[in-house]
Structures are given as C-alpha cells and as structure tokens.
A and B are shown apart, each in its own frame.
Chain A
Amino acid sequence: MGHAAVKVLLRNPRRALEVPGPVTVASLLAHLDISREAVLVIVDGTLVTGDSVLDDSVSVEIRPVISGGSV
C-alpha cells in the first residue's frame, strides 16, 4: 500500500498527515473538525470546493484565513 493516500498539509503550525481516499473536501474537514469558513482548501495552486473528491496520492493544503495581530 505505502503511498496510496491523500496527503494533507496543515499550516500554523505546519504539519502533514495522510488519510485514505477517496474523500470529499467537506468530509475531510469534518473529520479534522475544521470549520469550512475558517480555511481555504488548495490543490495544485487553486481553490477547491466542499464537494470536490480527493483521490489517493493527491496533495491538498488546508490554509487558515484568520489572522491576528493588532492594528
């Protein structure tokens, strides 16, 4: 089996994990307990929607959009 999995990159802090595919973006986020409004999901440099299906060996980045700091 080895590398047949969806490769997930999380940011802030940066960490990587693998989940078995195929899986939709929406259910991946639900599985990781991440609110869809709080992140962008990026595959191949572009955005994908909740109903997109991620197959094994696809790399996906889950990037938070909420930034802190003072003004």
Chain B
Amino acid sequence: MIEIRRHNAGFCHQCFVKHCRDQVARTVESNSMLTSQDRVLVAVSGGKDSLALWDILLSLGYRADGLYIGLGIGDYSSESAAYARRFAASRSARLVEVDLPGDFGFDIPTGSRAAKRAPCSACGLSKRHLFNSEALKGGYQVIATGHNLDDEAAVLFGNVLRWDLAYLGRQQPVLAEGAGFVKKVKPLVRLAERETAAYCVLEGIDYIVEECPMSAGNRHLGYKELLNRVEETSPGTKSAFLFGFFDKVAPLVGQVAAEERESLHACPSCANPTVSGICAFCKLVERASSNT
C-alpha cells in the first residue's frame, strides 16, 4: 500500500506502477513529447528518477536508449555508472557512455576549480552540452531528462525569487528543436520524487541512494525543504504552483527564451549553439587542460 497525499489516495503495488506509467503517458501525449517513431536518448545518472524514466518509457514501448556521463567525481561516479550499466543490461537496452576525464581530459572537481565556477555550474553546463552533442551525433530526435515535480517546483521557486525571465522562459516540459538544439522533454513532471523512488523499489530497480558529494549546500535542496513544509500543511500546493506556471505564465514568458535562441550562433570549436564566441563547454575544456 502506497499513500499519495496529493491525490488523497492509497494504491496497491500493481495500481501504483500503473499510476506512474499513466501519469508519464499522459504527460508525453498531452505535450506531444514523443512519437512512437522517435528515437529518444534518456539522460541517465544512475539515480532513481532517470532509471524510473528509462524503465517507464521502455514499458510504454518508446525507442529509448540511455546516455551516461562520467563526471569523474570519485566513488560516486564509479558507483553510479555501475547502477546505470546494470539496469541497461537487465533490460537489454543500449547505454551510450561519455567520460569527461577519458574523453575530455578533466573531471568536475578540478575542471570547476580551474574555470573558477561552482562544481554544479561546471557540471550542469557540461551535461547540457554533452546531451545535445551526443543526441546530434547519434541521430536521436529527442533528449529526455528525469526532472520530477519536486525538482521543477524548486527550480521554479528559485527563478521566481530572482524574477529571472530568461530562465523562466526556458522552464517548460518541452523545449522544441531548433537552432542547433535537439528537442528536450521532461516526462516526469507529474511525478513527485517520493513516487519515482517508490516506483524503483516496487519494480526492483537498484539505484544509487547516496548523493553526489558536490551537492552539499545546494540551493535547490533548501527550496525543496521549504516547499515540502508548505506541502505538509496543504497537500497539492507544489503541483498547483508548478502547473499554474506551466498553464498561465510560461506562455507569456516563452517569448523571451525564443528571442534569446534566435540570437545564437554555432561555436567555432564544436558547432553547438552559443551566445558569443567559443561556447562555455569548450572554454571549460580549455581552462581545465591548461591547468593540468
């Protein structure tokens, strides 16, 4: 029996698994995220959300491969890679792997120090870059990431606190393809992280429970705790906050992001879209290698 307070409901094992898959199917269909013909690349970290996402997309019959990026963060990276590989093998699914130290000569801890960036900032830009370039290289039509309801509500909360219009404009469950970008989708936005974790336990999916050591003090973690406190006294607040934004506000601010995209050009070094000159990822690679 799994209790979901937001839905004011309890589910048995089978009904809960069906509930999760139905929520994802509904999100995918109502936002035109994927067609049955699309080849989709799932960004896989070895954690609960990305493995649940990959499992659900496969169970719904989509043509989903995984992409794992080795970040060179000590034991955390080697362990999370093992979970991703084990899952792929258990489903006979294809896992594409990129290794920052092996393929680009730097890891997140040293690369971020060399570039004077916060680790999560260097990591985030590297992942976004590699998702896009690997999808282009492999001929995938769509990239899917495991952002869940809690992640998106916390990010939205942060963007609203700063009224960051460019970020707000980009915070959508679907970002269309164009200007060198592969289409990006977030099929888990209707599932809370408690639900993706429960899905993994019930479906026997082993994932890395330990956190990335770089995540300590992360701002979004604080926002999540704040929102969870509100949710405890009034269940449903998080989802009303997020879906109210998607329905009412995102269409109004989407234009800002669209204009920003139009002003992009191809990075002279790697051809991925960027604002000016060489892109942030190529700069990071350059700084990290000149420092070693």
Q: Which residues of A contact B (CB under 8 A)?
A: 11-12, 14, 35, 37-38, 40, 42, 45-47, 49-50, 63-71
Contact = CB atoms under 8 A, between A and B. Distances in A.
A37 B155 CA distance: 20
Nearest to B45: A69
Chain A at the B interface: mostly helix, strand, loop or mixed? loop
A63 B209 contact: yes
A47 B198 contact: yes
B228 A69 contact: no
B124 A71 contact: yes
A37 B194 contact: yes
B204 A67 contact: no
Nearest to B224: A66
Range class of the B interface residue count: 35 or more
Contact of B204 (A35, A45, A50, A70): A45
The 10 closest A-B pairs by CB, nearest first: A70-B120, A68-B215, A68-B221, A65-B197, A68-B218, A69-B215, A65-B194, A70-B124, A49-B1, A11-B209
B201 A45 contact: yes
A66 B215 CA distance: 12
Chain B at the A interface: mostly helix, strand, loop or mixed? helix
B212 interface: yes
B38 interface: no
B275 interface: no
A46 B228 contact: no
Among B194, B198, B232, which residue has the most Cβ atoms of chain A within 10 A? B194
B111 to A, nearest CB: 15
B201 A47 contact: yes
Given A12-B210, A35-B232, A70-B123, A46 B202 contact: yes
B147 A69 contact: no
A46 B211 contact: no
Given A37-B231, A37-B232, 20 more contacts: A11-B210, A12-B211, A37-B228, A40-B198, A46-B13, A47-B202, A50-B3, A63-B197, A63-B209, A66-B228, A67-B193, A68-B211, A68-B216, A69-B211, A69-B212, A69-B214, A70-B121, A70-B123, A70-B218, A71-B155
